[in-house]
Amino acid sequence: MCGIFGYIGTKDSLQVCLNGLQLLEYRGYDSTGIAGVENGQIAYCKEAGKLHVLQQKLPFQKLDVAIGHTRWATHGKVSSNNAHPHLDEKCDIALVHNGIIENYDVLRSDLQMHGVRFVSETDSEVIVQLIAHHYKGELVEAVQKVLPLLKGHFAIAVIHKDFPDRIVAAARECPLAIGYDDAGTEAVISSDPNAFLSSTPNVLFLRKDEVALIQKGKISLFNSQNLPLCKQPERLEGHHTPPSKGGFAHYMLKEIFEQSATVQKAIFGRMDEKEVLFEALPETFRNAKRVWFIGCGTSAHAGMIGSLFLEDIAQIPSHTEIASEARFRIVPEETLVIAISQSGETADTIAAVREFKSRGLKVLGICNVKNSTLTRETDGCIFLKAGPEMSVCSTKAFTSQIAVLYLLAKFFARQSAEEIKTIPAQIQEVLKLAPLIQQIAKKYSHFRNFFFMGRHYMYPTCLEAALKLKEISYVNANGYPAGELKHGPIALIDTHFPVVAFCANKQTEEKILSNLQEVKARGAPIIALAPKELSAVSAVADDVIWLPSTSDKLAPFTSTVAGQLLAYYIALSLGCDIDQPRNLAKSVTVE
Ligand code: F6R
């Protein structure tokens, strides 16, 4: 995973690079580092921890050219030694890397036999040592010689102490964008073009072993056969407004509270009283015989709800598969694949998209981030319009995803979707329950294990709520279909094992009430999330979060918001790092 950034131009390279890294921290924050050329030598600094730690330790104020890195650890523990940039033995060359080198062990042993000494545990260091091994005065040539030796995927940026006027970059499967301005005074490289768009709108994306020699005002490209390559830049629009918590204690809380507005934005302008209208959605997609959703984590949970919408509303058979498992499955012809990703950069999802496209299937993306890899690789894309999601834990993207999926099912069914307009107001009602939910959260925050259960629409909803709790509070929370508990997991239940029951699915009301009795009989403390009219729940639950009444199909919105608040306040009671939980990154860019 990780984010890489580089700058060469008339501005302060060091500062531009640090600003770029700040915007790429969503790709990992285990360690950060920066390197450049200073008085004909490589100058570098790297530290375990987030960017602010690096900023406090910087031993230099100016660099001629700069490359930087923010890491999510794959090979080797979190330490300053394993942080990027990595240098060759002579400290002539510095490299930053995003991706994984699968054959690094063999390459490392070969180099060690030639007497090369390694100082880190990473797969990345092998690339810079190999480049140094092949270097004969031409950095581009050395990089070109090394690429065919590497198995795996990568985006790299490399500098040499003798060339303070250039960066060499290369990529295979990992995103790498090169931006430059119209006046030719500066050039930028980044894992994500959104980190530089406002100043450098001309963008080239490197693909399949392409190599770029980047100089101020001049970009030279070479293809995988090392032949010069001519590519037209894309003209991308975008600007970055500095993120703000808007008075909230955490981005997560701010994003939870934005959901009434973000769901409104997801549906706005996409329907009239007769039907749903999607911009840029090929009409042929409506002929799909079946739909497969792919995604990871929260986006996969949205897909599970989308599958129910499609079957219940449009009678189109539908299935959701975790993206990393999707390639092992047979997907029948005439299936429309729908890839859901907030970031549009999740490596497992992108790999599955590439796999299904290579099998001749059409792929539609549902994405929040413009100009992301997913938006470039799919046959059409629906945007969530939720605005940047800063908290690692996804909240507003999920409710926007299910809003779009509800509309999509109505689009396939050629029906109107007027009833979804009630949702923003209902979300407001749930948000008013925040103080009550905080009290309940405090009461339960000492428990280390939870079951979350629900049926039908409430099953994926409870999976999503359980994921929120585990990722931000480090508490073990397992989501189950309520009917499944008695097939094994109920053995774990005792008075120390609370159950959070999602009861807002009218069709299965009686059954979930029975399931509550079953766990109650075994001593489980129970928190129920139930619609106002389900009064019977108060006889069995210890605490109830009463939700506005709605249809089964729309109940995931209100129940999700309540589940997010519960997770948030438990994590708050436990004093966790809510916006940047340990071991996670906002965008998971390795498979
Ligand atoms: C959970 C969470 C993750 C992401 C998953 C996919 O709160 O954020 O589970 O949903 O990593 O990310 P995207 O949607 O960007 O593909």
379 and 348 fall within a common domain: yes
Q: How far, CA to CA in Å, does 584 sit from each of 51, 72, 133, 255, 539? A: 15, 8, 35, 18, 40
Report if residue 126 sits inside a domain: yes
63 and 141 fall within a common domain: yes
**How many domains, the chain?**
3
The closest-lying atom of ligand 1 relative to the alpha carbon of residue 395 is 7
271 and 168 fall within a common domain: no
Closest protein CA for atom 6 of ligand 1: 296
Model confidence pTM above 0.75: yes
Q: Which of 390, 421, 452 is the last residue of a domain?
A: 421
Report if residue 590 sits inside a domain: no
For residue 134, the number of C-alpha atoms closer than 13 Å in the C-beta half-sphere is 16
Q: Which of 394, 421, 448 is the last residue of a domain?
A: 421
The residue length of the chain stands at: 591
Q: How far, CA to CA in Å, does 293 sit from each of 324, 363, 378? A: 12, 10, 13
Ligand 1 contact, 467 CB (< 6 A): yes
CATH classification at residue 93: 3.60.20.10
Q: How far, CA to CA in Å, does 307 sit from each of 280, 331, 386, 411? A: 22, 15, 22, 14
Ligand 1 contact, 386 CB (< 6 A): no
- Cα(342) to ligand 1 centroid in Å equals 7
212 and 251 fall within a common domain: no
Report if residue 84 sits inside a domain: yes
CA pair distance 163, 177, nearest whole angstrom: 21
DSSP 569: H
DSSP 315-360: ---EEEEEHHHHTTS---TTEEEEEEESSS--HHHHHHHHHHHHTT
pLDDT of residue 585: 87
Q: Which of 2, 296, 381, 503 is catalytic?
A: 2
The closest-lying atom of ligand 1 relative to the alpha carbon of residue 392 is 8
Best residue among 322, 346, 390 to mutate for probing ligand 1's pocket (most ligand atoms within 8 Å of CB) is 346
370 is annotated as an active-site residue: no
Ligand 1 contact, 588 CB (< 6 A): yes
pLDDT of residue 588: 86
Report if residue 236 sits inside a domain: no
List phi, psi (to 5°) of 140. Answer: -60, -45
pLDDT of residue 85: 98
- Cα(567) to ligand 1 centroid in Å equals 16
257 and 341 fall within a common domain: yes
- Within 10 Å of residue 286's Cβ, how many Cβ atoms? 14
295 and 350 fall within a common domain: yes
Report if residue 591 sits inside a domain: no
403 and 454 fall within a common domain: no
Decide if 412 contacts 317 (C-beta within 8 A). Answer: no
Report if residue 347 sits inside a domain: yes
112 and 8 fall within a common domain: yes
- Cα(346) to ligand 1 centroid in Å equals 8
Ligand 1 contact, 296 CB (< 6 A): yes
Decide if 495 contacts 523 (C-beta within 8 A). Answer: yes
pLDDT of residue 153: 93
459 and 385 fall within a common domain: no
221 and 295 fall within a common domain: no
CATH classification at residue 477: 3.40.50.10490
Report if residue 543 sits inside a domain: yes
Q: Which of 230, 261, 287 is the last residue of a domain?
A: 230
89 and 221 fall within a common domain: yes
pLDDT of residue 197: 76
Report if residue 427 sits inside a domain: no
* Structural domain boundaries enclosing 212: 3-230
489 and 397 fall within a common domain: no
- Contacts (Cβ under 8 Å, ≥6 apart) of 6: 17, 65, 66, 67, 68, 96, 157, 159, 167, 169, 188, 189, 190, 214
367 is annotated as an active-site residue: no
pLDDT of residue 531: 97
- Cα(125) to ligand 1 centroid in Å equals 29
Ligand 1 contact, 22 CB (< 6 A): no
| Residue pLDDT tens, the chain, 591 long | 699 999 999 999 999 999 999 999 888 899 999 999 999 999 999 999 999 999 999 999 999 899 999 999 889 999 999 999 999 999 999 999 999 999 999 999 999 999 999 999 999 999 999 999 999 999 999 999 999 999 999 999 999 999 999 999 999 999 999 999 888 899 999 999 988 877 777 999 998 999 999 998 789 999 988 899 999 998 887 666 777 898 999 999 999 999 999 999 999 999 988 899 987 788 889 889 999 999 999 999 999 999 999 999 999 999 999 999 999 999 999 999 999 999 999 999 999 999 999 999 999 999 999 989 999 999 999 999 999 999 999 999 999 999 999 999 999 999 999 999 999 999 999 999 999 999 999 999 999 999 999 999 999 999 999 999 999 999 999 999 999 999 999 999 999 999 999 999 999 999 999 999 999 999 999 999 999 999 999 999 999 999 999 999 999 999 999 999 999 999 999 999 999 999 998 888 778
Taking the CA atoms of residue 361, residue 364, residue 369 and residue 373 in that order, the dihedral angle to the nearest 10 degrees is 10
pLDDT of residue 239: 67
CA pair distance 121, 125, nearest whole angstrom: 8
Residues facing residue 101 across a β-bridge? 152
